[in-house]
Amino acid sequence: MLAEFRAKRETERVRVEAKYQVLGFISSGTYGRVYKAKAKKTVKSADGEEKELVYAIKKFKPDKEGDIHTYTGISQSACREISLCRELRHQNIVSLQEVLLEDNSIHMVFEFAEHDFLVNNQHERKPIPEFTIKSFLWQLLNGVAYLHANWVLHRDLKPANILVTNDGVVKIGDLGLARIYERPLQPLFNGDKVVVTIWYRAPELLLGSRHYTKAIDIWAIGCIFAELLTLRPIFKGEEAKMDNKKNVPFQKNQLTKIFEVLGKPTKDQWPTIDQQPEYHNLSGFRSSPNRLHEFYQTCSSKSDAGYELLAAMLGYDPIMRITAEEALHHPYFEEEPTPSMDSFEGQPYQYPSRAVKSEDNNMRVPPTVPSAVQGQAGATHGGTRGKHGHNGKDEGRPPKRRG
């Protein structure tokens, strides 16, 4: 009886490939693989033309036991991402079209975004126009202000997770680590070792803070802003790995990279620094001056207001760090060129498009090229804005966060 019922449900269920034609493979992430696909049904645009709708389908990995795939439920990350994506609606948050279950795998169907902020691995490090950077930053802050107003922390903001559509609209993606928090602040550390890719990790987390706040997302945005201005990660440290006893290591190298630019933090800058669990480890560092201004001279922007905003986002004390809402009203955004919802508007600059491996268009078969080099091979479905895909060099991507 149950078998019959199951078989009936199986035939009633919409098959992914009945609705979507996979155009190619985009990327493997921690939780699964992402494909570019188009809906088999076209829609009519206002002027009566047939329009194709393009999507990104994220196929979550099924749980694995040895070589046998077993279905033991939906992973916590998939659950979080689905529930948050369904409730959050904002122009700067990637929108979820639908969720399909097939072959014991969740398939999340998102609107497709042709670009992302991952620009540090471009061949030609051609500066991005200030108008585009400012529009990117404003829209990113706009999306994060919405998340924060709804008591959601993103917790994994990094260039690869910030998507941009062909129309220059920023879409914050990968809400798999996002988490709703409440007042009073809950410790978000226990059982949740995974917290923000190291290059974008805030100093309070590096110093062992267990309570974390919206300020962590703002630090990451500061790092991303600096990266857009120089096309290089500002604090490119190496993550110390956990030992066999699962002791959380002190992230000395990452803090060294931060102190080289911002100087060793003082009690004046961060009055409660001595309450950080790893504070004692700071005695091993010599005091050093703040060189952010010198760093800013090497950036593509010459705006003083831009420097002030960057400094406010990279403030050591999380309590004093600027909020997303305050940052949106910063004088930098009132100065010419003012930001727009189309970050590419009137720009001759060809922003790089993401690479899509069109020969890997079977979602049931893993792609042929390891994920580290995936961007180098295959045809690119370039948009009208960009002709070249990311070169996919591993150097531009930070080490993967721990799952």
- The residues of the shown chain that bind ligand ATP, judged by CB under 6 A, are 26-27, 29-32, 34, 56, 58, 94, 110-113, 116, 160-161, 163, 173-174, 176, 354, 400
Q: Are 380 and 356 in contact (CB under 8 A)?
A: yes
Question: What are 69's strand-pairing partners?
Answer: 64
156 is known as an active-site residue: yes
Q: Is 385 helix (H, G, I), strand (E, B) or coil?
A: coil
Q: What is the crossing angle of helices 214-230 and 130-149, to 10°?
A: 170
The token pair at 361 is 């268009």
Cβ 226 to ligand ATP, closest distance in Å?
A: 20
CB of 311 to ligand ATP, least distance (A): 28
DSSP code of residue 23? E
Helix/strand/coil for 308? helix
CB nearer to ligand ATP: pick between 32 and 203: 32
Gap between the Cα atoms of 248 and 258, Å rounded: 20
User: Nearest residue to ligand ATP, using CB?
Assistant: 29
Q: How far is CA 223 from CA 47, 138, 252, in A?
A: 43, 14, 18
Taking the C-alpha atoms of residue 51 and residue 320, their distance in angstroms, rounded to an integer, is: 48
Pick between residue 135 and residue 197 the one whose CB is nearest to ligand ATP: 197
H helix or E strand, kind and range, residue 56: strand 54-60
Task: Give the Cα-Cα-Cα angle 302, 346, 297 (nearest 5 degrees).
Answer: 10
User: For residues 174 and 204, which CB has a smaller minimum distance to ligand ATP in the complex?
Assistant: 174
Is the Cβ of residue 26 or residue 313 nearer to ligand ATP in the bound state? 26
- CA dist 32 and 53 (Å) reads 23
CA 141 and chain centroid, separation: 13
Minimum CB–partner distance for residue 173 and ligand ATP (Å)? 5
Q: How far is the CB of 94 from ligand ATP (least distance, A)?
A: 5
Q: How far is the CB of 199 from ligand ATP (least distance, A)?
A: 13
Q: How far apart are CA 143 and CA 232, in angstroms?
A: 23
96: which strand partners? 110
Provide, rounded to whole angstroms, the least separation between the CB of residue 260 and ligand ATP.
27
> Measured from the CB atom, is 172 or 324 closer to ligand ATP?
172
Catalytic residue among 47, 63, 156, 192: 156
Considering the complex, state which of residue 306 and residue 398 has its C-beta at the smaller distance from ligand ATP.
398
Q: Are 381 and 361 in contact (CB under 8 A)?
A: no
Catalytic residue positions, numbered: 156
